[in-house]
Amino acid sequence: MAELVFLRDFVIVFGVAIGITFIFHHLRMAPVVGYLIAGVLLGPSALGIVKDMGLIEVLAEVGIILLLFLIGIEFSLDEFIRANRTVFAGGLLQVILTAGAVLMIALALGFSFEKGVFAGFLVAMSSTAIVLKLLTDRGEIDSPKGRLCAGILILQDLSVVAIVLLMPLLAGKSGLSAVNVALNVLWALVFVGIVVVVSRNVVPLMLYRIVRTHSRELFLISIVLICFGTAWLTSLVGLSLALGAFLAGLVISESEYGHQAFSDILPLKDIFGILFFISIGMLLDFGSVLRYPGIILLAVLGIIVIKFAIGSLVPVALGYPLKIGVLVGVALSQIGEFSFVLSKEGLSSGLISVNEYQVFLASSIITMMFTPFMIQGSGRLSEYIERLPVPHALLLGGAHEEVPDKADLKNHVIIVGFGLNGRNVSRVLSSSHIPFVVLELNPETVRSEKKRGVPISYGDASKEPVLEYTSIATARCMVVAISDASATRRIVELARRLNPSIYIIARTRYTSEVNPLFSLGADDVIPEEFETSIEIFSRVLNRYFIPMDEIESHIGEIRRDGYEMFRNMQHKYTVYPELKQRLPDVEIETIRIEEAAPVAGKTLAELNLRKSYGSTVLAVQRGRQTITNPSGDTQLLAQDIVVLVGTRDSIVYTKALILQPAKL
């Protein structure tokens, strides 16, 4: 019957996991939170459905090993050495400051130094799985906020290895003397050195011979053997299984077979990872929660406040504006999955008591549950904080430099974002002697490009004062080339409001984002998804020796039909955008004639708009029909859309006439 109970538990766990993954996918939330909740409900302190807790915990340990093994595979020593200071300074600063703050609080509450350090490490970790999942779903992973969060999370994950190494010292197993610390660090470095030597010499040769057999099964078995074998060897020499798993992944990553190994192991990691999170939830004791509700509530508030404050401070210290700091602080203000790994190690090492462990579990799960809602409201929170009386330099960031005065810029191009697209646009504009100015939120990019003579400034283009510094009122064109979809929408709307005649070109990632940008005032929207498909089929046709003129004809037809489909007739600026670009001193406006407007039913000759107001009707759109160059006999009807051209004052006077309700 034991086998049947084991099988029943597995069916229940994975059945619940399927349901949770399905539900959380539709809720656009990371399923990790659902797995934790499911574990709480299935565990012995709630419904008590799962009986064999020992087996689940053993499989969860396997999940931990595979989790760290995959981190090791993804980790590259060469890339880490080349990484910019955001990863090193930002991540390291966040971990040290958070651990230090928690240590001070722990000492004030009467805990020992060792427990305070351990608690600091637990709180310092944030959830890589939840944060990156949410940022990816929101299209913000390539934004300044997303890049900063990813850099800090990477260093947090890597610091787990060092923390695991220090845990025996904190637990007093080898004392805390300087000699013992030095010996442990030296021994770890020697072991890592051996791993590096083996990874560069022995493992590639072994895997090469295995790959030559063309047996996928043999390759997978070999990778699993390296993973668990290295973890086992590290445990024999007194180091942790988690450290061994990471080193095993590092061995594979330094070979040319790392990507294949990652793809083969990933499904196993997902399966055992689900068991890990569910098992963590099962360990939560409802009785402890009911005994310490006040302590758990204070712990949750303390964790969120400390991590938000330090997480916001780190980007500001690196030169980013306060807004980016607030967004990053909110994103990192929960406890991470690796804290669970460390807490289980700490429980077995005596660094944390059973009751403290239960309080930590409950607090951590609650912070994870709050994360999606906190990130969703982080934009409104940043706007509120920006309205507080804080120093101007703090709002704009330490790298902020004002662009030239408005009088020095006219008929220029504003480039928002200096990634690959922004660089290419600026290079062409520079060679064509067209004036331009760049706005960028990466302070390192601003510093380096400033030295190269690029007219680049640090600033958030979604803020009105920043755009006014770029002389947007006299600009001819704006190119929005950033990856943040929500920021792109705000920038387009603000730019159109500040300069109704500016020609706005927006780059976006997906075709689903095209129509919203058109409705906000963009003149052209370039969806990378659509353009990539064009590039793909053009290269395919080229491989079949199709003449280039035929390929270009296909490209022109696809672009014409595709962009016409994206750019529906609801867009305000579809008519004559080229004229508006070529005549920057002339205003072009589209106005709908309402039922009660005094011009409804009158001809253009009767209105005599050009003589009376100085404006000219270029076209009249009536339903699906567009009347271009209308004559004096053209009658204006209710619901017509009139395209006017003239000076700004003349447009204002004409709009007042057309929009004025008829007198009864």
587 beta partners: 646
One domain, residues 165 and 129: yes
Q: Which range is least confidently modeled, 141-145, 462-466, 502-506? A: 141-145
The larger pLDDT score, comparing residue 437 to residue 557, is at 437
Residue 447 confidence class, pLDDT cut points 50, 70, 90: confident
- Taking residues 164-182, what's their average pLDDT? 64
In a domain, 179, yes or no: yes
pLDDT of residue 60: 66
Backbone angles phi, psi at 598, to 5 degrees: -70, -20
Note the pLDDT tens digit of each residue in 292-342: 889 999 999 999 999 999 999 888 888 788 888 888 999 999 998 778 878
Residue 167 confidence class, pLDDT cut points 50, 70, 90: confident
CATH of the domain at 482: 3.40.50.720
pLDDT of residue 221: 86
Q: Which range is least confidently modeled, 31-45, 389-403, 519-533? A: 389-403
Nearest to 324 by CA among 458, 422, 495: 458
CATH of the domain at 178: 1.20.1530.20
Contacts of 604 (CB under 8 A, 6+ apart): 617, 630, 631, 632, 633, 634, 636
One domain, residues 17 and 51: yes
Note the pLDDT tens digit of each residue in 194-217: 766 776 677 778 887 888 887 878
One domain, residues 360 and 451: no
pLDDT of residue 297: 92
Q: Is 84 helix (H, G, I), strand (E, B) or coil?
A: coil
In a domain, 580, yes or no: no
Residue 541 confidence class, pLDDT cut points 50, 70, 90: confident
Tell whether the model's pLDDT for residue 573 goes beyond 50. Answer: no
pLDDT of residue 337: 76
One domain, residues 96 and 234: yes
- Which range has highest mean pLDDT (164-173, 303-312, 576-585)? 303-312
Note the pLDDT tens digit of each residue in 345-381: 788 788 888 888 889 988 988 898 888 888 888 878 8
Q: Which range is least confidently modeled, 551-560, 591-600, 642-651? A: 551-560
Query: Of 353, 381, 409, which closes a domain?
Result: 381
Angle at 355 between CA 350 and CA 356, to 5 degrees: 65
Tell whether the model's pLDDT for residue 474 goes beyond 50. Answer: yes
Instruction: Pull the structure tokens for residue 566.
Output: 């994206």
Query: Of 513, 534, 566, which closes a domain?
Result: 566
Residue 403 confidence class, pLDDT cut points 50, 70, 90: very low
CA atoms of 452 and 445, how far apart (whole Å): 11
Q: Which range is least confidently modeled, 25-29, 153-157, 286-290, 293-297? A: 25-29
Give long-range contacts, CB 8 A cutoff, 24+ apart: 102-111.
102/306, 105/302
In a domain, 579, yes or no: no
In a domain, 388, yes or no: no
Note the pLDDT tens digit of each residue in 49-95: 876 667 666 766 777 777 777 767 766 555 555 555 666 778 888 99
In a domain, 377, yes or no: yes
In a domain, 41, yes or no: yes
Residue 574 confidence class, pLDDT cut points 50, 70, 90: very low
Nearest to 52 by CA among 278, 242, 289, 268: 278
One domain, residues 599 and 552: no
pLDDT of residue 477: 92
Helices and strands: H and E segment counts in the chain: 31, 10
Tell whether the model's pLDDT for residue 468 goes beyond 90. Answer: no
CA atoms of 550 and 442, how far apart (whole Å): 42
The larger pLDDT score, comparing residue 436 to residue 256, is at 436
One domain, residues 210 and 268: yes
In a domain, 31, yes or no: yes
CA atoms of 483 and 221, how far apart (whole Å): 40
One domain, residues 377 and 404: no
- Taking residues 40-52, what's their average pLDDT? 78
> What is the separation of C-alpha 491 from the centre of its chain, rounded to a whole number of angstroms?
18
The larger pLDDT score, comparing residue 464 to residue 296, is at 296
* Residue 125 vs residues 62, 93, 206, 336: alpha-carbon distances, Å: 21, 13, 36, 5
One domain, residues 558 and 607: no
One domain, residues 468 and 350: no
- Which range has highest mean pLDDT (349-363, 518-532, 568-582)? 349-363
Backbone angles phi, psi at 37, to 5 degrees: -65, -40
Query: Of 566, 599, 619, which closes a domain?
Result: 566
One domain, residues 240 and 111: yes
CATH of the domain at 594: 3.30.70.1450
In a domain, 571, yes or no: no
Average pLDDT of the chain is 78
User: pTM here?
Assistant: 0.64
Beta strands in 465-598 (DSSP E): 477-480, 503-508, 524-527, 587-592
- Kindly tell me the sign of the dihedral angle through the C-alpha atoms of 313, 314, 320, 326: negative
Q: How many CB atoms lie within 10 A of CB 74?
A: 15
One domain, residues 137 and 239: yes
Q: Which range is least confidently modeled, 179-183, 262-266, 300-304? A: 179-183
Total of domains in the chain: 3
One domain, residues 500 and 612: no
Tell whether the model's pLDDT for residue 190 goes beyond 60. Answer: yes
Q: Is residue 157 within 8 Å of 95, Cβ to Cβ?
A: no
pLDDT of residue 629: 78
Counting residues of the chain whose pLDDT is more than 70, the rounded percentage is: 80
Max Cα-Cα span within the chain: 99
Backbone angles phi, psi at 616, to 5 degrees: -125, 140
| Domain around 120 | 2-381
